[in-house]
Amino acid sequence: MLVKVRIRVQAVGLNRAEALYMRGLYLEQPRLPSGLGYEAAGIVDAVGPGVERTWIDRPVATVPGFSLNDYPVLGQEAVVPLANIAPYPEKLTPVEGAAMWMQYLTAWGGLVSVGKLEKGDFAIICAASSSVGIAAIQVAKQEGASAIATTRTSKKREELHELGADHVIATAEEDLIARVQQITGGKGARVIFDSIAGPFVEQLAAAAAYHGILIEYGSLSLQPTPFPLVVAMHKQLTMRAYTIREINADPGLTRTAREYVFDRVADGRFQIKIAKTFPFADTAKAYQYLESNQQIGKVVITL
């Protein structure tokens, strides 16, 4: 039996996963009536059997990796498994606390645990203006790699540079493959971290280095995703699916990942970027804004 806690919610960070879930396009189908919300920050105000009462009155944030059908957190209160909460650095506000764990754990898991990113590597980070994209830029820089951010148009170019990207490619305006070849001196990018999928993976595969790895952690295109077999054979390319649940399923990885993220947020090496906040009454508007692609960073609902 899972041990659980109840949180008095102060803020909820939004994710593309929920937008897909509410339309029946996510990894799991909603069982109606269903709630929403993966990431909440708040105060523990009750604990279940088997949970130490020292958790009560502590500020925590949820660590995604549970079923939205079982533990939605978008509401005034949320009940979640004890294993899926964690403190956040004291200097953060609840809004920042609700924007921390999903983006950085996802980025660490994909780039460091799966991609084995290291100093001198080139990493392509797709949909780089998303919260996970920005976190991935910071993780790549932390590991000594060069971050190549992609975005559809040049509108977000300057801010992505300010957020740490070494290079920015506007895929609707530039030749992705040619630009990556130019940036990498013809080598290609060894690690590619992509949330778009669909036909776009063929361009990404062509931009990859020999023995590169293409990590798919999302499916924003909603189109069938081909396996670029011929290019993969020529380059000995690995194409690999990944979700944050992979990290949460391994206690050792969970501990390592959480320490890595917490320490770097606490000392300022990682800076959380909040795009916009909305009051709870404007939840529908918050999700509409998330899906508009206008934002750079995390969209958060406050309660």
Q: How confident is the model at residue 275 (pLDDT cuts 50, 70, 90)?
A: very high
Q: What angle do CA 206, 209, 213 make, to 5 degrees?
A: 90
Alpha-carbon torsion (21, 62, 97, 301), positive or negative: positive
pLDDT(279) > 90: yes
Mean residue pLDDT of the chain comes to 96
User: In the beta sheet, which residues pair with residue 5?
Assistant: 47, 80
291 close to 112: Cβ distance less than 8 angstroms: no
pLDDT the model gives residue 293: 87
The predicted model scores a pTM of 0.95
Using 50, 70 and 90 to split pLDDT, how confident is the model at 212?
very high
Distance CA 127, CA 220 (A): 9
pLDDT in tens, 67-124: 999 999 999 999 999 999 999 999 999 999 999 999 999 999 999 999 999 999 999 9
Long-range contacts of 184-188 (CB under 8 A, 24+ apart): 184/122, 184/209, 187/122, 188/122, 188/212, 188/235
* Mean pLDDT computed over 207-229: 95
pLDDT at 234: 96
Helix (H, G, I), strand (E, B) or coil at 275: strand
Strands (E), 49-170: 59-62, 77-81, 85-86, 122-125, 146-151, 167-170
Q: β-strand 4-13 against 298-302: which pairing, if any?
A: antiparallel
| Strand intervals (E) in the chain | 4-13, 39-47, 59-62, 77-81, 85-86, 122-125, 146-151, 167-170, 189-194, 208-216, 238-241, 274-279, 298-302
Q: Is residue 199 predicted with pLDDT exceeding 90? A: yes
pLDDT-based confidence at residue 27 (cuts at 50, 70, 90) = confident
pLDDT attached to residue 119: 97
pLDDT tens for 9-20 read 999 999 999 999
| pLDDT at residue 167, as a whole number | 98
Query: Given this model, what pLDDT does residue 266 score?
Result: 98
Q: Specify the pLDDT at position 65.
A: 86
Q: Report the pLDDT value the prediction gives residue 96, as an integer from 0 to 100.
A: 98
Percent of the chain at pLDDT > 70 equals 100
pLDDT in tens, 112-161: 999 999 999 999 999 999 999 999 999 999 999 999 999 999 999 999 99
pLDDT at 197: 95
